[in-house]
Amino acid sequence: MKFKPNQTRTYDGEGFKKRAACLCFKNDREEEVLLVSSSRHPDQWIVPGGGMEPEEEPCGAAVREVFEEAGVKGKLGRLLGVFEQNQDRKHRTYVYVLTVTETLEAWEDSVNIGRKREWFTVDEAIKVLQHHKPDHAEYLKRLHLSCSPTNGNSLLPSQPSNDNFPRYGPPSTGSVLGPSRR
């Protein structure tokens, strides 16, 4: 299991742990996404991401986490949304899109904890994540909705929240899937 002795957990004013993650794609077509093995369950795949450090911006945390966990660098793209997970722990995760431009042979988590990475089609990744990380599968489902020009959905909320980021939560937590009305 991954252990960071100097890690400080940061929380927002509503008691949510502040997290950041990236959907890492091979190219701008966003057809293949990179997943990494979980530090707790090495036989399961997750979207790379983690806790924000004090005074760290969400975009900087997302890029740092991807570098540490997946060993990739790239061009940071749009903020896909802010996702709230309330079932097990209160997490609020800023999820960005990143186009990979550099892949390291060995990286921090591959050396320290044996983390692996693998490319999946978006549909395959949703299936793999749905069983043990349904909140991560929601990131990719939102990607499909935000990219479809004919479905009438927009990435921007019709009524913006206080920080102007769209918020999403899984339906099972009581949150409405889609922008929150904070």
Phi, then psi, of 166 in degrees rounded to 5: -65, 140
Asked if residue 3 is part of any domain, the answer here is no
Per the structure, the complete domain to which residue 94 belongs is given by 17-147
The whole-number average pLDDT for the span 21-47 is 96
Instruction: Say if residue 177 is exposed, middle or buried (CB neighbours under 10 Å; 0-12, 13-18, 19+).
Output: middle
CATH number at residue 57: 3.90.79.10
Asked if residue 6 is part of any domain, the answer here is no
> Measuring CA to CA, which residue among 53, 50, 132 is closest to residue 95?
50
Express each pLDDT in 50-71 by its tens digit: 999 999 999 999 999 999 999 9
Express each pLDDT in 129-154 by its tens digit: 998 899 999 999 998 676 544 333 33
Determine the Cα–Cα distance for residues 108 and 113; give it in Å rounded to an integer.
8
Checking if the pLDDT of 11 tops 50, the result is yes
Upper half-sphere CA count for residue 80 (Cβ side, 13 Å): 27
Asked if residue 167 is part of any domain, the answer here is no
Supply the pLDDT for residue 165: 52
Asked if residue 57 is part of any domain, the answer here is yes
Residues labelled as active-site residues? 68
- 178 confidence band (pLDDT: 50, 70, 90): very low
Asked if residue 21 is part of any domain, the answer here is yes
Mean pLDDT of the chain: 81
Which distant-in-sequence residues (6+ apart) come within 8 Å of 108 by Cβ? 67, 68, 69, 71
Number of domains in the chain: 1
The whole-number average pLDDT for the span 107-128 is 96
Buried b (16+ CB within 10 A) or exposed e, 144-158: ebbeeeeeeeeeebe
